[in-house]
Structure 1
Amino acid sequence: MSNVITLHRPERSTLATRQTRLIRAFADHRRLADDVFWLKENAELLGILCATGAELGPDALAPFDTFYGQIEDRLRFFPQYYRFLISICLDLEDLGLSGGDKGAALCDWAADQGLAEAELSDLQRAEARRLLARRGAARVPDAALDARLHRFINRPGTFSMPNKKAAYELTHIVFYLSGYGKRDPEISAQALLSLEFAGLLAYLDQNIDLLAEVCAALRFAGHVPSPIWDDAVLAAHRGCVMVADAGSGLNDPYHEYLVTGWASQVAGAPAFAAEVPEGPVRFARPSIPVGALRTMSERMFELGQTRSGDWHHMRGHVAPYLGPDGHEVLANAEQSSDKFDAFFEGFARAGSV
């Protein structure tokens, strides 16, 4: 006679349930609604849900009812946050918030007040233009703005050197020019090379958050990213988990989970399958390999005037200083792009001032 033990796997939640729990975690449990970072995080979450065409359950957006009900007063009192507020409003409405029809009036008011004229950054002006255009309130075409955006992204050399701010601005310009993949951004071969260089930097640094944005931007521009980059993004997304945590660590990789899931969906891969506990959650991921970027950069600086932009010559001066993870990352980066030599020529910053 033998004893048979039957193990029952926990029943997986539906996508709608996971989305509803995720929304509640962001809306109710991470920060207070009067915190500007609450605006940022919820705008990012709703933006990803909207961009991926999420079909939410009937009560999924209920945590935003009070906020949406007060949104006119918030916009009037906090016009400096108009991009966050209007983004949240439009995404709530486009995701199906019951009775949501305030977006057009808010966009008209923001346009009448000239809020975008207070922006110093072309990137922020481009974001404002895209937001207002979603409800037909971007009234004056700005060819000069487009010219400046293209001028910025058409300088590949900018993106062969470590500069996260510039790299994120590059990807977001492509997002805005393409309407998040709804139209051809009409970018040049030089801008595509900029994206390639930014992707190499992100991969060498193992900055998967930025790498995911580069992969999405390349696809919006009609180009397929390196399978090595895609695999890294997919692996990072699948490795991310959410754990119940009343402390809800605010420096967790929530944005990486959102953007790698979005990039995965853009690539046609399944995404957002991680279980979401009820209540407060903290995002966690496995440790990622130590990148090669910092060591490469430090070593090149140490070489001083003896460094050159010839990667085949310089490889032997750099590679011995990398650990096992760094060696693997570097080898994969070299294989991921036939533009690696051209990238390194800018990265080396050889010559004299």
Structure 2
Amino acid sequence: MSNVVSLGLPRRPGLAERQSLLLENFACNRRSPDDVFWLKENAEILNILATSGARLTEKALAPYARVYEGLEERLRFFPQYYRFLLSICLDLEDLGMAGGKGAELCRWAADMGLVEAELSDLQRAEAHRLLARREVGTPSADLHQRLRTFINRSDTFALPNKKVAYELTHIVFYLSDYGKLDPELDDAAIVSLEFAGLLSYLDQDIDLLAEICVAMRFAGQQPSAIWEDWIAQEMGGFVLNGSGDGRSDCYHEYLVASWWAQFADRPGFPGVPEAGGLQICRHTGRKGPLRAMSEYMFHLGPARSADWSQMRRGMTDAVGADGVEILTGAEQSSDKFSAFFEGFSRADI
């Protein structure tokens, strides 16, 4: 006779089931499909699942059936949102939804000249990639060269500026077709990624650092173990609630960190979403020392130096105990830290 007693512990859903529950919530429970932020959120989660090779069932995609069915009408009435709409369409098809209307919608967008209406090179690059997924349009060598010129200026990415750091990661995403191609980055662009990674680690910004680590992997580089171990540790702080307002939650950090985890062979999509609602919260860890570092350097005025070995002692006094530990980790995470600090110091400007 067995004396083993079952405790009746609940079964934790597998990855595909958790992803399906996430899709149901993003499609049905957080916002209305008539809300442009619904387009943004759903384009993001579908893109993350499609580019990381998620294996989903027909049932998992069913919440998008009505949206997919009406994409032609939406695109014709809301051409200003064509990148969101095309992205949703193509990712749904690549994830397994039947229909095959993506090629027709891409041709319509090209015939309407929607790409030519873009002012930003970054948005043009995104649009070209979307059309190319259904063999519409031709690559622009001039556009790609401008993007490469931008990311090769490493000094840009030694200064705190989240906008340009996100532009850097997305340029790498587009040049690599989200990891399908070798983007053939110059050494200077790799340095740019490393500088941006140092800043995001010093700021303890899980969202940006996860994107940078993915971009580095798409470029054939191995991100710092210090950075990736920290992301993995911080993922334990996400909490999925079944009720509450999801309009200002941490959904993007959750999705991007989980996206990174798929490429880093780490556990992703923590927690179990409820079926009837979703708010994603995060218990954050320590505050990064980046702001204190910038303030210290600014108030030094002409006394600041670009030489990290000269500035280290004063900087460690300025950032506090937690800041010192993070700063030390940043210094140990990259052999380019001293070169990064030269630009960060702005001593020679």
**Matched residue, 1:119:** 118
- Offset from partner CA, 1:262-310 (integer Å, 9 cap, x none): 1111112232242111111111222221101000001110111111111
Q: TM-score, normalised by structure 1?
A: 0.95
Cα separation, 2, equivalents of 1:184 and 1:233 = 25
Q: Is the 8 A contact 1:236 1:260 kept in 2?
A: no
The answer to whether residue 283 in structure 2 is matched with residue 286 in structure 1 is: yes
1:306 pairs with 296, 303, 306, which one? 303
Partner residue of 1:74?
74
Q: For 2:206 and 2:149, how far apart are their aligned partners in 1?
A: 26
Residue pair 2:237, 2:284 contacting (<8 A) in 1 also: no
SS state at 2:60 partner: coil
Identical-pair percentage: 60
Q: Do the aligned residues in 2 keep the contact of 1:61 with 1:92 (CA within 8 Å)?
A: yes
Q: How does 1:102-181 map to 2 (within 5 A)?
A: 102-138=101-137, 140-181=138-179
Taking the aligned partners of 2:212 and 2:160, their CA distance within structure 1 comes to: 15
Report if aligned partners of 1:15, 1:273 keep a CA contact under 8 Å in 2.
no
User: 1:57 deviation in Å?
Assistant: 2.2
Could you tell me whether the CA contact under 8 Å between 1:242 and 1:283 is conserved in 2? yes
Conservation of the 8 A alpha-carbon contact between 1:292 and 1:329: yes
Letter in 1 for 2:41: E
Letter in 1 for 2:120: S
Query: CA–CA distance in 2 between the matches of 1:260 and 1:115?
Result: 32
Q: Across the two proteins, how many residue pairs are aligned to each other?
A: 346
CA distance in 2, matches of 1:331, 1:15: 35
2:345 to 334, 338, 348: 348
2: distance between equivalents of 1:100 and 1:25? 23
Conserved in 1, the CA contact under 8 Å of 2:86 and 2:105? yes
What displacement does 1:133 show?
0.2
After superposition, the Cα gap between the structure-2 partners of 1:6 and 1:65, relative to the gap in structure 1 and judged at 3 Å, is: closer
Residue 262 of structure 2 corresponds to residue 265 of structure 1: yes
Deviations 1:163-192 (A, max 9, x none): 000000000000100011101001100000
- The answer for unaligned runs of 5 or more in structure 2 is none
Please, which runs of 5 or more residues in structure 1 have no aligned partner? none
Letter in 2 for 1:321: A
Contact persistence 1:211–1:229 (CA under 8 A): yes
Contact 1:21 1:279 in 2 (8 A): no
CA–CA distance in 1 between the matches of 2:58 and 2:86? 22
The aligned runs of 1:1-353 (5 Å cut-off) are 7-97=7-97, 99-138=98-137, 140-245=138-243, 247-352=244-349
CA displacement, residues 123-163 of structure 1 (integer Å, 9 cap, x when unaligned)? 1110001000000012x331100110000000000000000
TM-score by length of 2: 0.96
Alpha-carbon distance between aligned partners in 1 of 2:239 and 2:321, rounded to the nearest angstrom: 26
Q: 1:249 Cα shift? A: 2.9
Q: Is the 8 A contact 2:238 2:270 kept in 1?
A: no
Amino acid at match of 2:142: A
Shift of 1:248: 2.8
Shift of 1:261: 1.1
